[in-house]
Structure 1
Amino acid sequence: MKEEAVARLEEFVLKKISGAKLPSIAIAVVEGGRVAYLRAFGFRDIERMLQATPSTVYGIGSVTKSFTALAVMQLVERGLLSLDDPVDKYLPVKLRPFGEPVTVEHLLSHTSGIPALGYAEAFITGAVEGGDVWMPLAKPEDVIVFMSGAQEWAVARPGERFFYLNEGYVLLGLLISKLSGVRYEDYVKERILKPLGMERSYFSREEAEADPELATPYLLEEGHPRPSRFPYGITSDGGLLSNVLDLSKYLSLYLGRGEVGGVRLVARSVIEEMERPRASVPWQVLGGECYGLGWVITPDFYGRKLVHHSGSVLVYTAFVGYVPSSGVGVAVLANASGYPLSRIGMYALALALGEDPRKLPFIGLEEVYEKVVGVYEAYNGTVRVKVEVEGDVLYLEFVSRGLRRRIPLFPESITEEAALFYTVLGGVRINAGFKLRDRVELIYERYKFIKRA
C-alpha cells in the first residue's frame, strides 16, 4: 500500500476503535500474493496492559463458515458426496420442508427455506453473558435433537429464499465428520490449516488458551469493556480462532484460485463455484449482495466483485474479504463488538485498490452523524431537542419538559449541503432535514432548530 493510503487507513482505524471503545484490532492487507500491510492497535489484555500484535489470536466467528464450505467442497471434489445430495441421506435429521429435500447446497447457501432457529444466539449469549435463554447444546450432535421440528418451521421451499441458518452449518460439520471418518475440527486442521501453514489457528480450548498471544475477550457494557469468555463448544458454524497472519495465508488461497505457495488444496473451478451467487441476502450495503457457498458476494465494489464474510461471537469480531480480479484481500479482527469490522475492511480494500473510500455509502452516513449529533434549540430556546446515535440509528429526542419523546430518523438522501431523514409516526411520514453547511440547522415538522452544542 502507498504511504498516503496507509496514513489514511490508520487515521480511520484509530478514530473508529476509539469511538467504539474497542480494546484492540489487528489488520492485514494482502496484495499480489504477499502481505502489503500489517498492523495491530490497542491492547489484547487491558488489565495487564498487553499490546495487541499481528500475531494476536481472536475468534473469527462466522468467517469459520467459509472453512466449512471449503471442506465440503474438498469432499465433493473427491467424489464422496454431491451438492445435490439430500442432507438426510447422511444424517438422522428430518429436513424435508413442504415435502422437498434440503440438499447440501441448500445448507451451504442458506437456502433451506428454514428461518434462523436461534441456537447460536441463545448459546452464545448464554455462555458469554448469561442470557435470558440458556441452550446447553454442548456438542454438535445435540443440534440434531434441537432441530427435530425444524422442517415445520419452514416458510419457503428449499432453494426459494435466503435465511441465514447457523444450525445448517453445524449439520455440515457433522456431515464432514461422517464422510471423512474424523472429527470436523481434525479434518479442517489436517486438510486446510496445516497445508496453508496456519499454525496458530485453533478450535480447541486447550490449544487456544495455551497460546501466549490469545486476546482477552471483552463484552462492552455501557461503552466500557468488561473481560468475558469465549463460547467454546461452537464448531463448524463459528468456532475457529485465528490471527491476521494466518488469515492472510487463507486469503492467498482464494486469490491464487485454490493454490498458494505451490500447494493446491482445490481446483480453480471449486473456488469459482464457491463464489457463484445463489440467493440475494436481506442486508444490502452496496447493492446486489448475494450468498454463494460460505461467502457473501458483492457484485459492484468500485466496479469489481468483492467476496467477503463477517463474524461475531459478541466478544470477538472479524471480517475477511478479497477482490479476485485485483489480487487484493484484507483480514480484520477485534476482541469486542461495537463497530462493524466490515467497514474497516472495505475502507482498507478501497485504499488498496486506489479508490476513494469516501464513496462508500456508510462512510458518508457516518460523517453526517458526526456533524448532526448534538443539542439544538428552536427560536429563542423555546424548544430543545437532542440528536444522538444509538447503534446505527439516528434519534431525535425532545428534551423540553412536557414535550419529551424519542423518535428514530431514517436516512433518505445525503449531499454535501444537506441530509434528508424521515420518520413514521402513527402511519404518517414526517421529514427531518439537516442543513450541513456553515452552522447546522434542522427542519422538523413545524420547527426550525439550530445546533448549539
Structure 2
Amino acid sequence: MKRNEWEASFEAYVQRLLDDFQVPGAIIAVAKDGELTYEKAFGYRDRETQAPIDLDTVFGIGSITKSFTCMAILQLQEEGQLSVHDPIITYLPEFRTPNEAQTKSITIHHFMTHSLGFPPLPSLIPAMLPSLQADPTAELLLQHFEAECQYPIVSFDALMAYMEKFPFELLGPAGTEFSYSNEAFGLLGAIIERVSGKTYEAYVQEHLLQPLGMERTVFHVEELGEGDNTTMLYTPRMNDGVREVVRAPGWWDAPSMRAAGFLKSSARDMLRYADVYRTGGLSNGTKIISDDSAAQMTAPHVRIDLSRSYGYGLGVIPFSEDYTLLTHTGGLKGITAQMFIVPEAGVTGILLTNMDDAPITNLTLVLLNSMFGRPLETQFATFGEFEVPLAYLQQCPGTYKSGEGDVAAVRFDEANRQLELVLGSDVFPLRAVGGDTFLFTRHNVDSLIRFVRNSDGEIKRLAMGSRQLPKAT
C-alpha cells in the first residue's frame, strides 16, 4: 500500500492518546472503494505475552452488533415475513409497557430507532449475570446492581417479564423521544427467532456472516479454536487513586441480549461488512440487502440532538456540506470499537481496541480529519453562541441518574454565572448552543446535552450521549 501523507502525524497523535489512556492494543483499518488503503496496529492483543495484532485478530465489537440485527430485520421484510411498521405485539404478545395504549402503538421501527419511549433500564446487568459472577473484575459492578441481580435474565420471556415489572416512567409517546435501549434490540432478536424459525445467532450466521465471507466473526470465541488470534481483554480501574489497566479475561455474555451487542470480529471482516453500506447492499459479490433496505437503514429517522440522527442500527451525522458519516460505536468490558462509512467518498473504516472506555470518538474524529485534510482539532459540528436568561440557568441544576448506573450532576457556578456538568471527578463548563441544548468538551471532542421538559415546562430529564437520564434530585 502507498503511504498517505497524513499517516506519520496521525500515528504519533494516536500513540500519545493510547499511552495516556493506557490502552494495551488497537487496530485501525480503512478502505477506499472496497480496497484496503490504510492499516496500523498499535500495542498488543496480549500485553503480557506481547502477542501482535493484525487484520484477522478478533476483538469485541459491542453495540455495532445492532446494525447486524437491523439488517436481519430488513431481510425478513424483503421476504414479506414482517414490516418494520408492524406493532411489536404482533410478534411479542407478552410485551408490556406502563401504558396499554403505548404498548399497542410501539412498532418494530420504534425498536430499531430507540424511540419506543423507554428510559435506560438496568436489565443488561442481570442479563449478563452468569458471566459477571464468573469474573473477579466485575465484583464492584455486581455490588452496585445487587438489588437488580436477584435472578438472571436468561431468556426473551424473562426479559419481557422483567421489563413489565420494573417501575419506570415513559419518556413520551412512541416515536417522539430518542433514548438508547438495549432491551429493544434484545427483543428484536426474539422477533427474528419467531419469524424465521431459527435462533437469532443461527440466522445472523447463515444470512449475514456466511454470505459476506466473515469467517472471523462469531458470538463465542470458542468457535474459532483456542488461542486463535483472539485478543485478551483489559479494563481500567482506580487503585488508591491511581488509574491502572488490568488483565480481565472472560467475555461477558447475555443470551437474551445478544442482538444488542455481543458479536466479535476482526478488522478485515468488519471492512467487508461496512462495504454493504458503501455500496447500497452489495459486498463479497453478494447482494445482502436491497438498495431500498440499505436506504432505509441509513436514513436519519430520529433526531438524537442538534447534529446527530439515528437510522436503523446506525448513527447518521452530517460530516461536511459534501459528506455524511454513518457510524456506530461499541463498548463493554475489554471492548471499545467504532465503525464508520462515508458513502459519498467511498470510504469505510473500523477501529478496534481491547479495553473498555478507550477514547474511540477522539481517535475516529482525528482519523477522519487526517484523511479529509482538515485540521486535527476540527469537530464533527460547530455551533454559534446562544443567550440564555439567568433564571433559566438556575432551573437546571440537579442530579440525573439512569437505570444503567450513569450519574450526571449539573450545578450553577455563581462566580462565572454558568452551568457546569459534573461526571465523577471531572467538571466541564457548559456553553449554551440552543434553547435547551448545551455543549461541553471532553477528550478534545465536543458533546451536546439537552434538558428535557414536561408539558408544564419543568425539567424532568437530561439527554446526554445517547440516553435520557431522569432527574433524581
TM-score range (shorter-chain normalised) is: 0.7 to 0.9
> 1:162: which partner in 2?
178
Name the CA distance, whole Å, in 2 between partners of 1:121 and 1:355: 41
Q: TM-score, length-normalised on structure 1?
A: 0.76
> 1:55: which partner in 2?
56
Change (3 A) 1:187 1:83: same
Structure 1 position 329 matched with structure 2 position 329: no
Counting aligned pairs with the same residue, the percent is 28
SS of the residue corresponding to residue 84 of structure 1 reads coil
Structure 1 window deviating more from structure 2 (346-355 vs 36-45): it is: 346-355
Change (3 A) 1:221 1:123: farther
Alignment counterpart, residue 219 of structure 1, candidates 232, 235, 239: 235
> 1:24: which partner in 2?
25
Structure 1 position 252 matched with structure 2 position 254: no
Structure 1 position 279 matched with structure 2 position 280: no
Contact 2:62 2:335 in 1 (8 A): yes
Change (3 A) 1:213 1:193: same
Name the CA distance, whole Å, in 2 between partners of 1:5 and 1:193: 33
Show CA shifts across 1:137-177 (max 9, x none).
Answer: 23444212211236963221111111111000000001101
Name the CA distance, whole Å, in 2 between partners of 1:19 and 1:152: 39
Structure 1 window deviating more from structure 2 (188-197 vs 220-229): it is: 220-229
SS of the residue corresponding to residue 27 of structure 2 reads strand
Q: Give the drift of 1:98.
A: 5.5
Change (3 A) 1:329 1:150: farther
Q: Give the drift of 1:265.
A: 0.7
Contact 2:64 2:330 in 1 (8 A): yes
Structural mapping, 1:394-405, within 5 Å = none
Q: Give the drift of 1:253.
A: 1.4
> 2:115: which partner in 1?
111
> 1:15: which partner in 2?
16
Alignment counterpart, residue 309 of structure 1, candidates 325, 328, 337: 328
Contact 2:276 2:283 in 1 (8 A): yes
Alignment counterpart, residue 102 of structure 1, candidates 100, 106, 125: 106
Name the CA distance, whole Å, in 2 between partners of 1:253 and 1:138: 32
Contact 1:24 1:42 in 2 (8 A): yes
Show CA shifts across 1:289-345 (max 9, x none).
Answer: 011110011123464111100010132111001111111111001110233312212
Q: TM-score, length-normalised on structure 2?
A: 0.73
Report the count of equivalent residues: 371
Structure 1 window deviating more from structure 2 (294-303 vs 233-242): it is: 294-303
Name the CA distance, whole Å, in 1 between partners of 2:93 and 2:367: 44
2:27 alignment partner AA? A
Name the CA distance, whole Å, in 2 between partners of 1:194 and 1:20: 36
Name the CA distance, whole Å, in 2 between partners of 1:119 and 1:152: 12
Q: Give the drift of 1:411.
A: 5.6
Change (3 A) 1:38 1:345: same
1:239 alignment partner AA? F
Name the CA distance, whole Å, in 2 between partners of 1:119 and 1:85: 25
Name the CA distance, whole Å, in 2 between partners of 1:33 and 1:106: 32
Show CA shifts across 1:359-395 (max 9, x none).
Answer: 12699xxxxxxxxxxxxxxxxxxxxxxxxxxx9x9xx
Q: Give the drift of 1:121.
A: 4.7
Runs of at least 4 residues off by over 4 Å: 121-128, 411-414
SS of the residue corresponding to residue 37 of structure 1 reads strand
> 1:230: which partner in 2?
251
Name the CA distance, whole Å, in 2 between partners of 1:91 and 1:407: 43
Contact 1:208 1:241 in 2 (8 A): no
Change (3 A) 1:141 1:335: farther
Contact 1:21 1:338 in 2 (8 A): no
Change (3 A) 1:98 1:35: same
Structure 1 position 269 matched with structure 2 position 273: no
Show CA shifts across 1:12-40 (max 9, x none).
Answer: 21111111001100111011111111121
> 1:354: which partner in 2?
373
Change (3 A) 1:211 1:264: farther
Name the CA distance, whole Å, in 1 between partners of 2:369 and 2:428: 29
Contact 1:329 1:349 in 2 (8 A): no
SS of the residue corresponding to residue 81 of structure 1 reads coil
> 2:448: which partner in 1?
none
Q: Give the drift of 1:48.
A: 1.9
Name the CA distance, whole Å, in 2 between partners of 1:148 and 1:74: 29
Contact 2:324 2:344 in 1 (8 A): yes
Structure 1 window deviating more from structure 2 (346-355 vs 319-328): it is: 346-355
Structure 1, gaps ≥5 residues long: 364-390, 397-405, 415-453
> 1:82: which partner in 2?
83
Name the CA distance, whole Å, in 2 between partners of 1:206 and 1:351: 37
Show CA shifts across 1:391-431 (max 9, x none).
Answer: 9x9xx9xxxxxxxxx883416499xxxxxxxxxxxxxxxxx
Name the CA distance, whole Å, in 1 between partners of 2:118 and 2:208: 30
Structure 1 window deviating more from structure 2 (271-280 vs 62-71): it is: 271-280
Change (3 A) 1:75 1:151: farther
2:269 alignment partner AA? D
Structure 1 position 195 matched with structure 2 position 211: yes
Contact 1:16 1:339 in 2 (8 A): no
Contact 2:339 2:351 in 1 (8 A): yes
Name the CA distance, whole Å, in 2 between partners of 1:265 and 1:171: 23
> 2:69: which partner in 1?
68
Name the CA distance, whole Å, in 2 between partners of 1:231 and 1:280: 31
Contact 1:94 1:151 in 2 (8 A): no
SS of the residue corresponding to residue 13 of structure 2 reads helix
SS of the residue corresponding to residue 349 of structure 1 reads helix
Q: Give the drift of 1:225.
A: 1.8
